[in-house]
Amino acid sequence: MRILWAVSSVGKGHIMRDMAIVRQLQAMADIEVDWLVPDPGGEFTSNRGYNVLDDSKRLSGSGNVYAQVFDVSTNEFNLMRYIKADSKLHRHDFLVSREAWKDKTYSMIVGDEAFWLLTGFASRWAAKPAPFIFMTDFIGVKSLQPDISDDLFAWYNNIKFAMSFMGPDIYIYFGDAAEIPDEPMGFLLPKRRAWAQRHCRFVRPIVGFEMNSLPDKTTLRKQLKLPVDTVLFLATIGPEGDYKKRTGHIESVLEILKADYPVAHFMMISPEIGEKDWIQYCRYQDELYKYFAAADFVLTQSGYGKVTELSALGTPFLAIPLGFHFEQEYMMAYRLDHYGTGRIVTLRDNTPQAIAAIVLQSMVQKTRRISIDNGTEVAHLILEKLTKT
């Protein structure tokens, strides 16, 4: 059997969880997967040995639009601008995808926040060539800035979202209903949580590594060539927007923490290599989760993948969203409140002194771990649908 797997490349967390599901699928059955992933995710997926279709290069939305919006944005990232630009390309990308399946036989199509496919199938732009499974970790959009245009667009987009259940054969939500804001998607629209309870199948969050494969913290630090007998603070800065400003802000936080922890080890993973000789700087770490597991406290951008890994590992953390990014800021705040793990802290509302105080307070609080899956739950749902088709 062959599956067409389409992924939004906004954040590698989507791709990593998809790879975990595919690994489980292929361990259970004889299944081949063709990938539709717009760049930059397409290159990331291909470099890991997966079969990324050439049609992916013709997809114009998703990660491409995300990067274009960031070309004129800084730390305050109004996600509504991205959605406005991306949704205009849904029809184009749907037609490109239709070319990908036109001369092939697929047993199923899976879309991980591939909203161009969700919109296309729900709008009946073409008949589904196979059962369609859609997966997501948020319900509806939200405008976070006082802008009537954004408010109206969010409402219009949520009207379409409320009708999107007509597209997939199975609608999967990563997480559980209690983490979804219990508020209407807009005027005369259903509540987000109630809508999800009616239309979604809930599965546990997925991380792209095996928890049982991790050694104890001391062994892990030795493997990573990190100090064993001291507190380890880790900060990660994403490459989006004005990351130099974010790097400087977090350096100031670490400098304040250094006064309380003078012999601690401070490490920063960032596109910007700073000049503090007491901070260990790295530009990129492929297996970032190992550093999360080795750390005593983490300051990170509040992307879904990083937050899920930290919550699964039980490492205390603060999640710093891109400003006005409704998924990283608004949706994630509800999720973390439900998890009882980390906490959302915005740079626009908190000075380095305030953030450092929150870190010190959080370090003495009891940590929790969330229950996660390795992709098996979704793999079983896919196989169950395949056997009934």
> What is the CATH code of the structural domain delimited by 211-363?
3.40.50.2000
Q: In the predicted model, what is the mean pLDDT of residues 197-224?
A: 95
Q: In the predicted model, what is the mean pLDDT of residues 40-69?
A: 85
Closest CA to 18 of 2, 1, 37: 37
Which pLDDT value is given to residue 69? 63
Kindly report the pTM of this predicted structure.
0.94
Give 370-389 pLDDT, tens digit per residue: 999 999 999 999 999 999 87
Give 247-305 pLDDT, tens digit per residue: 899 999 999 999 999 999 999 998 878 889 999 999 888 889 999 999 999 999 888 99
Closest CA to 4 of 91, 100, 89, 118: 100
Give 319-375 pLDDT, tens digit per residue: 999 888 899 999 999 999 999 999 999 998 999 999 999 999 999 888 899 999 999
Res. 70 pLDDT band, cuts 50 70 90? low
Which pLDDT value is given to residue 75? 57
Between helices 79-87 and 148-163, what is the axis angle to 10°? Answer: 60
Res. 241 pLDDT band, cuts 50 70 90? low
Q: In the predicted model, what is the mean pLDDT of residues 82-97?
A: 90
| pLDDT value at 243 more than 80 | no
Res. 145 pLDDT band, cuts 50 70 90? confident
Backbone dihedral angles phi then psi of residue 131, each to the nearest 5 degrees = -55, 145
Tell me the domain boundaries of the chain.
2-206+373-388, 211-363
Classify 56 as helix, strand or coil. helix
Is residue 173 a contact partner of residue 348, using CB atoms and an 8 Å limit?
Answer: no
Is residue 17 a contact partner of residue 41, using CB atoms and an 8 Å limit?
Answer: no
Closest CA to 51 of 38, 36, 65, 66: 36
Q: Does residue 318 or residue 65 have the better pLDDT?
A: 318
CATH entry, 2-206+373-388, from 3.40.640.10, 3.40.50.2000, 3.90.550.10, 3.40.50.720: 3.40.50.2000
Q: Is the peptide bond between 215 and the residue preceding it cis, with omega within 30 degrees of 0?
A: no
